Structure 1
């Protein structure tokens, strides 16, 4: 087992909300808790985490959906630093159970949905990665496998209709099937115009499919490896101009200066959250 305290940032000038830290107790084998224990939140996707926290303050009222949640870190952050409804989607059974336990043990309101979000409904084999539990995917051949588990699959649009949620912020990290998530949620993006954080891995055909889906929706694309303000890009490139950061912001309206100022404030706050 792995047990540690994860310090959370507080932006200067922000209204105080939520705990100063999260208590993590998880399997010692899980990769995300291992990274968090070694580097703290300051060393875990800080560009994305800072912008995510800024968008929680900036976006209109509505729910946060963390699709491909693993142990639920982004959902836990949303529950700890906002009053928004939070839904974390994770199909891997032991990871979903860990996310539920972390929310309960930290007294945070976060609903864990044990579901793989894609462009169809039914069931499918989830490929369990031999490299890392963070690389489990519906995509065949993405990583060397050590096993498979049959999981429930549904589209974002179908789930939203059943749940009655009004999405305002999405985070999508499903190991190369992100275009399938978008394709199954086009009605959600058209109707509710959520802010979308999306991982884009290179050399997997993801970029072209995302651009084809998003261009008719009039979203702007911003690589989060850039220093704020992150400029609008004409092309979605998984290589991210050489940056290690693979996350992109797909914005329903051109981001205003206020958003980038909030992002800078959260980046400064994150520097205090080392291991």
Structure 2
């Protein structure tokens, strides 16, 4: 077994050991006025990738009118983005993706946040809908701890169940590093990777969440009705087994799904085969709109897609005139 962290891709992810040193230097508070100026004036600098100032405990965020808080921007990549974006995700397509899930959650009963990281979709959706219940799935122990911190800080622990598991074939097991140390909490681990050591994590199938976990949601969702279940999937190219082992859930609830579909990793044809039997349409999430597509073809620029079995008119009733 070749541990992913020792591969060229894994070593490059950590800048061959230099990343913690660079981040520590750039997080010094006296440098941040200069960093803000550089982010505005120097082409190619993405402000959301720069470190937050040392000692900053939390940041406030908004999505689709909902307000929430994210803790630990020094280690959480998403909280850091909200610091640089002034309370919004700096990339317009990322901001729109979060707005979409948050808006869809306003009339939903349940959110399934698969690959939750530290929980920005969970806390934003719960802030938008006080009656929403959420299941958040994350398999890296240190990231799970960050997820719990955000759930507790936003006062939604009674409505959120955190699952320290992967999602896919029930009973599958893999080892994952703790996620401690390093310059930030890892956001790129997936079920495709192998690690020589770490914590053993068991996987759960989406279909395992059917009663008793989803008892009150009406079955056989109509195509013109508000979605009772909303789902977000961000699993770094491992979305096929997530959906393959959730076919009963898809058939029964037909959730609206925001799914990351990575160029060079995702299999669009396989996703179509898993979704088409349930009447799904697919839309590429861009900076200002979502574009209907005949096929799921991973895009080199935009990562997120919206999958929905509802009519375009029903979607726009929740999202506004957003379909290109």
Q: Answer whether TM exceeds 0.5 for this pair.
A: yes
Show the counterpart of 2:79.
Answer: 33
Q: Secondary structure at the match of 1:163?
A: coil
Tell me the CA shift for residue 226 of structure 1.
Answer: 6.0
Q: Does 1:51 align with 2:100?
A: yes
Paired residues for 1:105-144 under 5 Å: 105-108=153-156, 109-126=159-176, 133-140=186-193
CA RMSD of aligned residues (A): 2.7
Q: Which has the larger radius of gyration?
A: 2
Paired residues for 1:56-95 under 5 Å: 56-57=105-106, 61-82=108-129, 83-95=131-143
Contact 1:66–1:87 (Cα < 8 Å) also in 2: yes
Tell me the CA shift for residue 55 of structure 1.
Answer: 1.4
Show the counterpart of 1:255.
Answer: 312
Contact 2:68–2:123 (Cα < 8 Å) also in 1: no
Tell me the CA shift for residue 162 of structure 1.
Answer: 4.8
Q: Deviations over 1:46-95 (max 9, x none)?
A: 120121122123x5x42001000000110000111112111111111111
Question: For the structure 1 residues 171 and 224, does the alpha-carbon distance in structure 2 shift closer, same or farther, using more than 3 Å as the test?
Answer: same
Contact 2:103–2:128 (Cα < 8 Å) also in 1: no
- After TM superposition, the score normalised by the length of structure 2 is 0.68
- Among 156, 163, 179, the residue aligned to 2:213: 163
Show the counterpart of 1:153.
Answer: 203
Unaligned runs of 5+ in 2: 1-54, 218-227
Contact 1:53–1:263 (Cα < 8 Å) also in 2: no
Unaligned runs of 5+ in 1: 12-17, 265-275
Show the counterpart of 1:173.
Answer: 234
Q: Secondary structure at the match of 2:187?
A: helix
Tell me the CA shift for residue 163 of structure 1.
Answer: 2.2
Tell me the CA shift for residue 214 of structure 1.
Answer: 1.2
Show the counterpart of 2:294.
Answer: 234
Contact 1:128–1:135 (Cα < 8 Å) also in 2: no
CA distance in 2, matches of 1:42, 1:25: 15
Q: Deviations over 1:124-147 (max 9, x none)?
A: 223789897110111137xxx796
Contact 1:125–1:138 (Cα < 8 Å) also in 2: no
CA distance in 1, matches of 2:304, 2:168: 19
- After TM superposition, the score normalised by the length of structure 1 is 0.79
RCO higher in structure (CA 8 A, sep ≥6): 1
CA distance in 1, matches of 2:123, 2:319: 23
Show the counterpart of 2:280.
Answer: 219
Q: Deviations over 1:157-211 (max 9, x none)?
A: 0133452354610000011111110001010000111111100001224212101
CA distance in 2, matches of 1:252, 1:226: 23
Tell me the CA shift for residue 10 of structure 1.
Answer: 5.8
Question: For the structure 1 residues 90 and 149, does the alpha-carbon distance in structure 2 shift closer, same or farther, using more than 3 Å as the test?
Answer: same
Contact 1:54–1:262 (Cα < 8 Å) also in 2: no
Contact 1:199–1:247 (Cα < 8 Å) also in 2: yes
Q: Secondary structure at the match of 1:150?
A: strand
